[in-house]
Amino acid sequence: MLLNSQRWAQIEELFHRVVECDPSQRTALLDEACKGDWELRQEVEALLSFEASAHDHVQGAVHSEIAGFGFSLAGEVVSHYRILSGLGGGGMGLVYLAEDIKLGRRVALKFLPDESIKDPSALARFEREARAASALEHPNICPIYEFGEHEGQPFLVMQLLEGKTLRELLEERRLNSSKSDSGEKSGHKAALPLDQVLDIAIQIADGLNAAHQKGIIHRDIKPANIFVTSQGQAKILDFGLAKLASGVTDAFEAAERNAQIANLKVTATSPSATPDPFLSRTGVAMGTAGYMSPEQARGEKLDASTDLFSFGLVLYEMATGQRAFTGDTGPVLYEAILKQPPTPARQVNRELPARLGQIINRAIQKEREARYQSIADLRGDLQKLKHKVEATRMRRRLAVAFAAAALVVGIMIFWFAKHQSMSSQALPDVKLTRLTDNAPENQVTAASISPNGKFLAYIDDQGMHLKTIGTDESRSLVLPETSTAVSWEMMTNAWFPDSERFLANAHPATQAPPQWSSTSTSAWIFSVRGDKPGKLRDNAQAWTVSPDGASIAFTTNAGSLGDREAWLIGPNGENARKLLEVGEGATTGAAFYFFPDGKRISYVADDGSGERGVTRDLNGGPETTFLTPSERKKIGDAMWLPDGRFLFSDPCDEGIQRADTPCNYWVERRDVRTGKVIEAPKRLTNWIGSSLAGPDGVTADGKRVAFLRTSGRTAGYIADLQAGGTRLVNSRRVTLEENGEDAVLDWTSDSRTLIVNRNRGDHYRLYRQELGSDRSEPIMASEPGGVENAVLSPDEKWVIVQIFPWGGGDNFLTMVKVMRVPMAGGTPEFLFSVHNGSSMSCARAPSKLCIVAEESADRKTMIVTAFDAVKGRGTELDRFDLRPDANSGENLDHSPLCSISPDGTRLAIARSSFSPIEIHSLRGQPTLIVPTKGSDRLDHIKWAADGKGLFVSRRTYDGEELLHLNLKGKAHSLWKSHTCFGIPSPDGRHIAIYDTQQSANVWMMENF
Amino acid sequence: MRGISATHDVTHLLAKWANGDERALEDLTPLVYKELRRLAASHLRKERKSHTLQPTALVHEAYLRLVGQKNPRWEDRSHFYGVAARLMRQILVEHARRQQALKRAGHRVSLEDALNFHQERSRDLVALDSALNALEKLDPRKCKAIELRYFGGLSMDEVAQALEVSAVTVRRDLRMAETWLHREMQSG
């Protein structure tokens, strides 16, 4: 609409009236004033919608342009950098966005403050320190690429980060919270969300810890020096800069700082004309003074603890939205830092976990001695808290009652590194006691605790035993003579109420647990008095005894899915009556349990659509499903407690888990009749890694539960090969260190040097070791994460490493980095990424071929691509349709099976773990199928040095076997253990074996 | 010495420019540029309690440094500030246009986001400039108020004095002007 001055005046007049009137009157005012002048009304309303943000918008436009003026170098070329625009400025100089003309990448260029030029030795020291921090190549330390000088002004070139400094994040937060609170002081509303606090804090602690371990102290940890990228990665900026900026030797620091702080004033009367004495002499502006440690304020000599303190203040600020120390003038702030404890974080933000308050408090103690000993300790506490927070928030678990038949023999994923660094820590009140102490060779396979809590009956490879709990007394029970060899099994609730007798089942020793059914199984009753065991019945699996001791529940009549009939019978074989019967394709299932009233039972049934947990009255009535098939899959084993609570484990019963997989017990309360959860699940343990089977019984008072816990140990071996690789002799450990997960991953072509990896905790380390010597040299420094595989490039200049991210999950969708490290030692550089579980291998010179085998996104095809240690990914060589049983969804249950022959001409592949091995020529020769038994599960393929055979690992029901397989299918067994695979030496004389052993023992849990 | 002569030059040039000598602007611009840069850089380097760089204060400071606290030749303060604010506006808009030109010069492909962000800001100022031109035709006093306040760095009271109106009027003028400008910038 065209405006004339009259109209404009009209609009303005109304605009002011409306803006100034009571908001509730606005509409009425507009109605009255416009009187049908629709255009006027529209115009004023449009203006009104802009009114609130107008001032900020106009001011912002001018402001940002002026800010841009500070960046005088925009558009210029400095050294080989084209400066594009200003990025920001801090107490330590201006930062520009620049383009590296040589490398064509974008970087951040930071000009150091003028003061820094005054002391060349300080500059040199800073450079040293900054380089040292940078050399750590730590993901949480912003790397510096280069140092330079432009017209006498030193600058440094840093990685360009996208995101914000923590200071900006916190300020935004403060701004938003004060806006939403209409100016009221809003305390903790400015705090970051707890997840973010912990996440950022742990990352900062990681970075600081890495630096401290190299003796590098930051000295100026504060929100402005912490960058949070848009991906949420925290990076510490400006290592060493604080010291440079101080520009004075330690000897002078005390006096200087004292004087400066005393003189410091926040509001400089003339910000530019008179240089701020504090800024110019120390480079540490007011903002930083608020994060100083007391010892720093006193000008004392500093150690790593100063960073810990400052970090504590940063943590405080993230968690509360407020600074711990504020003061309008230097002396006030100084006093606060030295003497006043800040308001406890939890008083500011009542939503904080108490533990976080404690952690912060300990970090910001005035006396160094009272603080954490190291950032690593602090980090540990943060990490524990994080786990706790995550676990309690875990989605509600529906649970239930089940007792798995025996140890479920797990499908184990092929991982070079299995971390068993689990802590045996329970939640505060829960008490854990280990009841058995069996070696890996003799794992406990089943157990049950007696109702009076006096005995533990358990089974291992040596037989069946009875332990008197609380003593060292344990005796073996005499087993009955059977016509054929049997494997014994014991159910969760195997005991009679009198605690004198228990049930056990005898299965044919020739069968693996998954094959067990009632068909060739007999049920027995054992006695603690040493009476001869009595057979209850053939063709039956016995589950449990009723509370009155009069009835035993057993199943029989196996169909395709399991036993189809459930019966009750007296202890002397009397009074047998059928309880349930289902059709051929279904099972009445397992895990029978009598509720304490003896009138209702719980069990697991399956009509072909998956296992369900159900309850029903003994004398008929409908089944109540309390656990649907999908809910069932979310839990591991479970059992009812006498008081109606329900105890269950995470689904971590399948073999050894990765160390970062939670594997815990939970308890919740359910309505026995409806199955509904009436008390939310509570986690009882705090474990990661390992695996659980059971629970294995509960005492009658419901206070003690037994369970089976499995943990693993790994070791690397070297052995000599004879008879063309078909015989193995003289095996010895690669390193003698206990629990050293040292795995030989490759050999040099002269077969004299081994590439070895050690995964320890959440870090890995690659080194090389001479064969027959224990001298080792690092290839790279310890890095967070774990190595999944490493191969030597054919020219032997690089080690190519496949690294799985720590905590990334055991999942196909997790992306894994492939990096290269110089064989001579150095830092890893990123090559490309692949899906978790992809496999790579390299041929030997003169071939230059390395390949990576990956599954397509739909996991239906294996794609084999060439790669080069320098150039990265190359062309696709071949692709193979996978068998449908090769995988299942996102879950990673194996790696693509593919290996390149030493001469680089052939691929050995398998389309699933159960498929035969195929040899595909890359030179157009016909494909060869290696005939094999095919009943076991193929886990690993590696070409023998002579190209005439393969070393393969096959999983069996109770472990894994390493075989030499010639191309005609003839197999020779070389090694057996829980898991094992071999890496042959190029001269064909040796083989390195990675071996894991598993031990399983019974534990008891109390006070849950 | 240089400082003194610069001050002298600036005062002189401003007077010339105010009297319609367009060439004076050419000589003025680099001097003001330089001073603004120095100031802005020093402000950027200071981590103040509030990260907000007060543009008004900055601009004001630039004048003070350029022309001195008391300038005998400029007894008509309002006139002086009016000229100075207009000068600052021109300089800032010029700067903004250059930033945009830098982008057009072909950095677009390699620079992407980070640079875009800065150009985004520059575009804001260019939009503000043309909205101000439109406002000037409609209501010259309001345009002047905005210039004095934002490009001249004057306080409300000073703007009132310069425009010879009451502070209340200035406040209302600014509110209306800002709102209208915001809307104009948005639609333009």
Better-scored residue on pLDDT, A770 or B51:
A770
Nearest to B49 among A66, A168, A286 (CB): A286
pLDDT, tens digit (0-9, with 9 covering 90-100), for A117-156: 667 777 777 787 778 888 888 889 988 888 888 877 788 8
Q: Please check whether residue A56 is in contact with residue A66, taking contact to mean a CB–CB distance below 8 angstroms.
A: no
Are residues B45 and A90, on separate chains, in Cβ contact within 8 Å?
yes
- Assign residue A575 a region: left if phi > 0, alpha if psi is -120 to 50, beta otherwise? left
- Angle between helical axes of A38-69 and B22-45 (0-180°, round to 10): 70
**Residue A275 pLDDT:** 29
- Nearest beta carbon to residue B39 from set A62, A84, A272: A272
Beta-carbon separation of B176 and A64 below 8 A: no
- Asked whether the beta carbons of residue B183 and residue A104 sit closer than 8 angstroms, the reply is no
Give percent above pLDDT 90 in chain B: 20
> Contact, A886 vs A859, CB < 8 A?
yes
Contact A57, B131 (CB under 8 A): no
d(CA A256, CA A282): 9
Cβ proximity of A623 and A614 under 8 Å:
yes
CA angle B59, B64, B67 (to 5 degrees): 115
For residue A235, give how far its alpha carbon lies from the nearest alpha carbon of chain B (Å): 18
Cα–Cα distance, A434 to A432 (Å, whole number): 7
Kindly give, in sequence order, each residue whose CB lies less than 8 Å from that of residue B125, ignoring residues fewer than 6 positions away.
A61, A62, A64, A65, B92, B93, B96
Smallest CA–CA distance, residue A234 to chain B, in Å, is 19
d(CA A495, CA A181): 63
Bridge partners, A503 (sequence order): A525
Say yes or no to pLDDT of A596 above 80: yes
Q: Are A481 and A469 in contact, with CB atoms under 8 Å apart?
A: no
For A515, phi and psi rounded to 5 degrees? -90, -10
Selected residues 15-44 of chain B with any CB under 8 Å from a CB in chain A? 33, 36-44
Is B179's CB within 8 Å of A51's CB? Answer: yes
Q: Per the structure block, which two tokens stand in for A193?
A: 């969300």
Distance CA A642, CA A62 (A): 73
Q: Note whether B168 contacts A: Cβ–Cβ < 8 A.
A: no
Tokens linked to A832: 């490309």
Enumerate the β-bridge partners of residue A983: A992
pLDDT, one tens digit per residue, over A152-194 is 778 889 888 877 889 888 888 887 776 555 444 445 678 898 8
The minimum CA-CA distance between B54 and chain A, rounded to whole Å, is 7
The neighbour count for residue B73, using CB atoms within 10 Å, is 12
The pair phi, psi for residue A433, each rounded to 5°, is -135, 135
Give chain A positions within 8 Å (CB) of B40. 66-71
What is the number of residues in chain B? 188
Residue B150 touches chain A, beta carbons under 8 Å = yes
**CA-CA distance, A706 to A899, in Å (whole number)?**
45
Range B25-41 average pLDDT: 69
Distance, in Å, from the CA atom of A293 to the CA atom of A307, rounded to the nearest integer, reads 8
**Model pTM score:** 0.43
Give the mean pLDDT of A389-399. Answer: 40
CB A220 within 8 A of CB A102: no
pLDDT of residue A886 exceeding 90, the answer is no
Asked if B122's CB is within 8 angstroms of A66's CB, the reply is no
Sheet with A839-842, strands from edge to edge, namely: A839-842, A850-855, A861-868, A872-881
Looking at residue B104, its pLDDT comes to 52
φ, ψ dihedrals at A269, nearest 5°: -65, -40
From A13-17, A618-622, A921-925, B47-51, the region with the lowest mean pLDDT:
B47-51
pLDDT of residue A397: 22
3 state DSSP class of A482? coil
- A83-90 average pLDDT score: 69
Please report the pLDDT score of residue B56 as a whole number: 52
Question: For residue A86, what is the nearest residue in chain B, using CA coordinates?
Answer: B118
**Span B131-143, mean pLDDT?**
93
Q: What percent of chain A has pLDDT over 70?
A: 81
pLDDT in tens, A665-675: 888 888 877 77
3 state DSSP class of A598 = coil
Contact (CB<8Å) A58/B45? no
ipTM of the complex: 0.81
Residue A442: pLDDT above 90? Answer: no
Inspect the interface and report whether the beta carbons of B41 and A85 lie closer than 8 Å.
no
The shortest C-alpha distance from B41 to chain A (Å) reads 4
For residue A223, cis peptide bond before it (omega within 30 degrees of 0): no
Question: What is the C-alpha to C-alpha distance for residues A834 and A72, in angstroms, rounded to an integer?
Answer: 43
Q: How confident is the model at residue B41 (pLDDT cuts 50, 70, 90)?
A: low
Query: Cα dist. A787→A92, A417, A502, A615, A798 in Å?
Result: 38, 7, 47, 47, 15
Cis ω before A695 (30° cut-off from 0):
yes
**Separation of CA A904 from chain center:** 36
DSSP A171-235: HHHHHHHHHHTTTS--GGGGSPPHHHHHHHHHHHHHHHHHHHHTT---S---GGGEEEETTS-EE
CA distance A488 to A491: 10
Model confidence over B83-111: pLDDT tens digits? 778 877 887 888 778 767 665 544 333 33
Alpha carbon of residue A598 to chain centroid:
44
CB-based contacts of A662: which residues, under 8 Å, 6+ apart?
A: A387, A391, A650, A652, A687, A688
Give the nearest partner residue to A272 out of B42, B127, B182, using CB atoms: B42
Going from the C-alpha of A864 to that of each of A415, A424, A870, B42, the distances in angstroms are 20, 42, 18, 57
Condensed to tens digits (0 to 9), the pLDDT of residues B64-83 reads 666 655 544 545 556 767 77
Q: Quote the CA–CA distance of A865 and A859 in Å, as a whole number.
A: 16
A266: contact with B, CB 8 A cutoff? yes
Q: Which tokens is A246 given?
A: 């101080």
Band the pLDDT of A713: cuts 50, 70, 90. Answer: low
Instruction: Convert the pLDDT of each residue in A760-796 to its tens digit.
Output: 655 677 888 888 877 788 888 777 767 778 899 999 9
Distance CA B188, CA B184 (A): 6
Comparing C-alpha atoms, which of A721, A715, A791, A787 is closest to residue A749?
A: A791
Q: What is the DSSP string of A567-588?
A: EEE-TTS-S-EEEEE--TT-EE
Name the CA radius of gyration of chain B, rounded.
Answer: 17
User: For the residues A575-585, what does the mean pLDDT come to?
Assistant: 85
A649/A710 Cα distance (integer angstroms): 13
Structure tokens that stand for A984 in this block: 């042959």
A593 SS3 class = strand
B45 has a pLDDT exceeding 80: no
Tokens 């774990």 sit on residue = A786
Please list the residues that pair with A777 across neighbouring strands: A768
Q: Which pLDDT score is estimated for A274?
A: 28
Judge: B41–A94 Cβ closer than 8 Å, yes or no: yes
The pLDDT, as a whole number, for residue B108 is 35
How many angstroms separate the CA atoms of A38 and A31, rounded?
10
Pair A623, A605: CB distance under 8 Å: yes
